[in-house]
Amino acid sequence: MSAQQQSNKIPVQQVDLDATKHRVHPRFVTGFYQNIRVITMYALLAAFLILPWLRYNGRQAIWFDVPSQHYYIFGLTFLTQDFYFIAAFAIIAAFTLFMVTVYAGRVWCGYACPQTIWTHLYQYVEKWVIGDRNKRMKFDKSPMSASKVFKRTVVYAIWFVLSVITAATFVSYVAGTDSLYHSWQTVGLIPFPDWPTWVWISMFIFTFATYANAGYMREQMCVQICPYGRFQSVMFDKDTLIVSYDYERGEPRGARKKGTNPEELGDCIECTMCVQVCPTGIDIRDGLQVACIQCAACIDACNEIMDKVGYPRGLIRYTTERQLVEKEPSRVFRPRLFAYLALLAVLCGGVIYALTDRVPLEIDIRRDRNQLSSINTQGMIENSYIVKLTNKTQEPHNYKITLAPQEGLSLELRFNDVPLEAGESFDMPVSIYGDPDVIEFGQTPVTLNVTSEDGKYKVSKQNVFTTQGQ
């Protein structure tokens, strides 16, 4: 049976969204892949916790200020109009993930997915309070006692604290650390956070979601809900790295009991260690399954056993279907990878160009819709506009609006300078006057220029001057 044919073997009806009904208690294992995994997971976790505290130019460095529709990423300020950048970043991230999946399988699921990281963390809390796998399994089956209630309460309390920290960190990317952690009021004598309603609701939702996902749903999230886990097998090809059991080498499996002839058995000694360490509770020896998040814990566990019994490592290993089934060397470079690489190069090039070419100043011109034009007391034709200026830099600037020189046309401003704070917008009413003896009847294109006081930022926008409407 090929690795792909073996996929989806786990019957969906066996699983339930509440993982506590058949709680998986994985044995914690160490080894080459687990070391990489733990370092990766905790580095990502640390980055998630630390990033909102970084400051840049006196402001939170990464801040998605949704209420004011300003999004700050270090020196860059994006507004809602710049949404295409967010869309481009999301597309780049998605294609990077697709490319990595074609090459290395579900490496995201096993090493970097938040569901995996938080589940690992919550399981570690259980291990710390109750003990390793056997103790936890015994604990689950044991009758209710004061000690059981106490240990459960400690586990749930730590999970709750971790969920609140997670929620607060999530929300601080949007609400900002300043308003989240420094807004207090006193209710009676008790200090209480002084947050707007949406912050309270977000805190509640994220705390609940984290607690439910990592404490209860765990692997069921990957097996039943996550769409990425489901459609990944479609992206696999014969050269995709997958965690596989070497069926030919391992079978017939069997314990080395007295009286058995090891010559008649394969290398699998049926110790079940690969099953015991599996965070999703599956047996990799049944073939590739949709529940396998490719964490490689079974590889490390089996290698340890192989070392102990004196057999070569790699009975369970990262391999490809081409290597394992067809006994041919895998192809690293293949058309699909090149296609993803080319697409990513184009997308990244486009985003880098757009970012470097971007002027952090925006101008928008709206005509006065009530009246196309009018005649003033000096007999000049007047057109009125609203010029919206947005300072997308992270410093205050003074901007000057000018009209590109054109015979017979002049500009009148209410203010000569428009001072704008960082991220501020302002609607400036302006009028353009046309000399009826000089300008042509009909519509004439006009260009407004906006320049910062230091001349560093300059943008232009066209509109029309019309003689119609008299």
Contacts with ligand SF4, residue ranges (CB under 6 A): 243, 245, 250, 253, 268-274, 277-280, 282, 284-285, 292-298, 301-302, 305, 315-316
Pick 102 or 298: Cβ nearer ligand SF4: 298
Q: Is the dihedral of CA 326, 328, 329, 335 positive or negative?
A: negative
Pick 102 or 301: Cβ nearer ligand SF4: 301
Pick 15 or 298: Cβ nearer ligand SF4: 298
> How many angstroms separate the CA atoms of 335 and 314, rounded?
29
Minimum CB distance to ligand SF4, residue 328 (Å): 23
> How many angstroms separate the CA atoms of 432 and 380, rounded?
10
Tell me if the bond preceding 419 is cis, omega within 30° of 0: no
- H helical segments located in 105-145: 107-111, 114-129, 133-141
Cβ-Cβ contacts under 8 Å for 404 (sequence gap 6 or more): 446, 447, 448, 449, 460
> How many angstroms separate the CA atoms of 364 and 461, rounded?
7
77 and 422 Cβ atoms separated by less than 8 Å: yes
Pick 52 or 281: Cβ nearer ligand SF4: 281
Minimum CB distance to ligand SF4, residue 112 (Å): 14
Pick 171 or 296: Cβ nearer ligand SF4: 296
Longest dimension (CA), the chain: 116
Pick 316 or 403: Cβ nearer ligand SF4: 316
Pick 278 or 432: Cβ nearer ligand SF4: 278
DSSP string, 2-43: -HHHHTT-S-GGG--S-GGGG---PPP--SHHHHHHHHHHHH
Pick 239 or 300: Cβ nearer ligand SF4: 300
Minimum CB distance to ligand SF4, residue 231 (Å): 18
DSSP string, 217-268: ITHHIIIII-HHHHHHHHH--TTS-EEEE-HHHHPSP----TT--GGGS-S-
Minimum CB distance to ligand SF4, residue 272 (Å): 5
Q: Fill in the amino acid letter for 305.
A: I
| E strand or H helix that includes residue 351 | helix 335-357
Pick 284 or 361: Cβ nearer ligand SF4: 284
Minimum CB distance to ligand SF4, residue 46 (Å): 23
Minimum CB distance to ligand SF4, residue 12 (Å): 17
User: Tell me, what DSSP letter sits at residue 307?
Assistant: H
> How many angstroms separate the CA atoms of 117 and 399, rounded?
48
Pick 87 or 309: Cβ nearer ligand SF4: 309
319 and 288 Cβ atoms separated by less than 8 Å: no
Minimum CB distance to ligand SF4, residue 253 (Å): 6
Cβ-Cβ contacts under 8 Å for 170 (sequence gap 6 or more): 202, 206
Minimum CB distance to ligand SF4, residue 268 (Å): 3
> How many angstroms separate the CA atoms of 314 and 320, rounded?
13
Minimum CB distance to ligand SF4, residue 242 (Å): 9
